[in-house]
Structure 1
Amino acid sequence: MKIVRACIFPKDVHCLTGRSERYGRKLLQDIKKHFGKQPHQFVTVEEFAEYSGIKEEIITNYLSQVS
């Protein structure tokens, strides 16, 4: 069984959305604020999917291809 990452990084946002990595950093900050997370905490695939509206299976398929 292949292990898929549970967290999202700015480069992942860049590849999934086609936007810049800087946009990815800003978006992850907004998601952390939305979910009441502290700066050192990670954004999970589920949280990113809920916030962005991108289906979770699309994100996990991307992460499994990249890893």
Structure 2
Amino acid sequence: MPRICIYPKDVAQLTGRSYDAAKRLVRRARQAAGKPAGALVSVQDFCRLTGLDEAEVSRALNPGSA
């Protein structure tokens, strides 16, 4: 089953940022989507904030499922 949620560890690997910077970016994506603290952040929420291509991020998170 493909992953649809994104975590700071994933963001750090995708962007090359530190884990702490990735946590801040995920927090910003959550806030921009209007979600409460602790809510899961979807790939769509993250891509909407960063401008990254959703399909590309999904492929990176779900290797082998194409």
Aligned partner of 2:9 in structure 1 is: 11
TM-score (norm 1): 0.87
Q: Alignment partner for residue 38 of structure 1, among 13, 36, 39?
A: 36
Q: Give runs of ≥4 in structure 1 deviating > 2 Å.
A: none
**Map of 2:48 onto structure 1:** 50
The alignment of Structure 1 onto Structure 2 pairs a total of residues equal to 64
- TM normalised by structure 2 equals 0.88
Equivalent residue, structure 2, for 1:26: 24
Q: Measure, in 2, the Cα distance between the counterparts of 1:47 and 1:33.
A: 10
Q: Which structure is higher in strand share?
A: 1
CA RMSD between the two structures: 1.3
Unaligned runs of 5+ residues in structure 2 are none
Indicate the percent of aligned positions where both proteins have the same amino acid: 33
Work out the CA distance in 2 between the residues paired with 1:50 and 1:33.
Answer: 12
